[in-house]
Amino acid sequence: MLELLSPSRATSWKQAVGDYLTTKQYASIMPQAIAVWCRQAGHQTFYATYYGRGDPKEKLPDDLDVVFVAAITKYSALAYVLAKLYRRDKTLTVIGGAHAKSFPDDCLRFFDLVVTQCDKQVIADILSGAYEPGSVVSSGRALTDLPSVEERMPEIKASSFSREKRPYAATVIPLLSSVGCPYTCDFCTDWNNPYVFLSQDHLEADLRYVSRELPGVKIAFHDPNFAVQFDRTLEVLERLPQKARNPYVMESSLSLLHGPRLQRLQDTNCAYIAPGIESWSSYSNKAGVGRKTGSDKVQRIAEHLEELHSYVSGIQVNFIFGLDTDQGDEPVELTKEFMSKTPFAWPVINIPVPFGGTPLYDQYLKEERILRSMPFSFYYLPYLVTTLTHYDPITYYQKLIEMMQHCSDRSMLLRRLRVTSSWALRLFCVVRTFKTKEAIGRFQHILEMLTTDRQFRAFHEGETTELPEFYHQEYERMLGPYASLISRAERTPELVPASAPTATASPQLAPASPHL
């Protein structure tokens, strides 16, 4: 089992340190669960994560029967390379994770099996040879049970601990209290995943185990939307003695966080929270501001976060800029105003990305607004993979840079440091400020090419489908010595409409492959 957490090898000591302190801790729960299920079934099992150090192929031993690869879309190029290498060795290749769920048809070009929805029975069926190569596999049911933290400890030590297999300052323990989400945001891959509250008894057992064996180590809840069942979730956390509660981080809608709930967050040792604001003109139900938009929404959310900050010291807020509801200078000015009102809240500004299986993808594909020859490796910042309704690409990048400069200027950093009491969070602010300045450089480079290179601009305006040489070179730089394994033709993604049939499979007890 190999989970990809980085698209390429670190090229500088600063990047290597950053990967060790942050990227390494992004390990997911499901790959660890698969490793546990395979081990419980009596198989010799190997698990690793790749976070930018060394050769990913060397993270697992040779002569494997089956390799499971987990990846998000931005790491798809490396996943495809590994699939080719393992197929040469006659290894059955299986991909799961966010990319498999969003773009299963594209994954089938390289992998034998694609898993879009997984549980213990699906893994058992794969290992018994129940699926023909070329199948898209789905459990067809909500996930209701996962291995405990104690059962996942070999994988947690391999992914989140130091080389000496001990927790260090950056270590986090991944947990889930729920899956799915009650909201239907059109950009989110969980938009149609029903919310399921997992076993309270299992959650309590995990919390007690971590408290006893790993006191003080941070817990990261991977719930798409934490504490939708707020009282039931917090009741479990409150069953532990107050001094035994590990600090935890989570992502939640602001609409869930109000009144006496804020004191309960503080009492249960919530250390960091990342609510999604998304837009000043839409998605207001998640923000808990009713129908308010524009300046009224800015004011209400700023007041709400000010209150929240008196209970939870670490806050991050997430935005998407470039939605069809964004127009002119207003969203930029409102975002800058919000940053100035809430220096304690770190803003993350995202570019809208049409991930497969979402209403946003279906809309953009139907309207022919997706840059169809753009490789999936560029479905993340700082790259724009669609045409926008109200901004040409030059104007769009100018406005992105304007917001990022406001976020990272010296006066804003000083204000953040003054309102932040924790030394760890102060250091975090400094590091993120410098990383934002580095990101601005990448945005400015793209803006310069849009301004000076007519063919590059024509591609981003949707006038041509010929992929600019810049993206080929970036693609090859990411893959390094593996670049020649993916031809230029293979870099063009398979974009399939939602209405198109997909080759799905149910267990058929097909003859097992010879290498199983």
State the DSSP string of 416-479. HHHH---HHHHHHHHHHHHHHHHHHHHHHHHHHHHHH-HHHHHHHTTS--PPPHHHHHHHHHHH
pLDDT value for 448: 97
| pLDDT for 337 | 96
Using an 8 Å Cβ cutoff, are 67 and 2 in contact? yes
Amino acid at 323: L
For the chain, residues with pLDDT lower than 70 are 284-286, 288, 290, 498-516
- Peptide bond between residue 382 and the one before it cis (omega within 30 degrees of 0): yes
Single-letter residue type at 466: E
- Convert 314-340 to b/e letters by CB count within 10 Å (16 or more is b): bbbbebbbbbbebeeeebbbbbbbbbe
pLDDT of residue 424: 85
The mean of the pLDDT values for the chain is 91
Neighbours of 262 (CB within 10 A): 18
Strand 48-50 and strand 345-350: the pairing is unpaired
| Sign of the CA dihedral with 439 first, then 441, 442, and 444 last | positive
Q: How far apart are CA 404 and CA 400, in angstroms?
A: 6
Neighbours of 510 (CB within 10 A): 14
- With 0-12 / 13-18 / 19 or more C-beta atoms within 10 angstroms meaning exposed / middle / buried, residue 61 is exposed
> Which of the 8 DSSP states describes residue 75?
G
CA dihedral 84, 90, 96, 101 (to 10 degrees): 60
Q: Which residues pair with 260 in a beta bridge?
A: none
Q: What count of Cα atoms within 13 Å lies in the side-chain half-sphere of residue 450?
A: 18
Q: Measuring CA to CA, how many Å separate 355 from each of 231, 359, 489, 492? A: 33, 9, 21, 15
Q: What is the pLDDT of residue 14?
A: 78
Please tell me the distance from the alpha carbon of residue 442 to that of residue 351, in angstroms, as a whole number: 14
Sorted by sequence, the CB contacts under 8 Å of residue 373 that are 6+ apart come out as 465, 466, 467, 492
pLDDT of 513: 31
Question: Which residue bears the tokens 């769009």?
Answer: 396
Dihedral-angle region of residue 247 (phi above 0 means left; psi in -120 to 50 means alpha; beta otherwise): beta
Q: What is the pLDDT of residues 295-326, one digit of tens each?
A: 899 999 999 999 999 999 999 999 999 999 99
Cα(173)–Cα(334) distance, integer angstroms: 36
Q: Is 48 helix (H, G, I), strand (E, B) or coil?
A: strand
For the entire predicted model, the pTM comes to 0.92
d(CA 278, CA 72): 21
Report CA Rg, the chain.
23
pLDDT tens-place string over residues 214-228: 999 999 999 989 989
Contacts of 283 (CB under 8 A, 6+ apart): 185, 276, 277
Tell me if 224 sits within 8 A of 250, measured CB to CB.
no
Residue 120: left (phi > 0), alpha (psi -120 to 50), or beta? Answer: alpha
Q: Which of 134, 137, 97, 148 is nearest to 115 (CA)?
A: 137
Which residues in 14-46 are b (16+ Cβ under 10 Å) and which e? eebebbbeebbbbbbbbbbbbbbbbbeeeeebb
Q: Which two tokens stand for residue 74?
A: 């931005």
Q: Which of 26, 222, 40, 28 is nearest to 123 (CA)?
A: 40
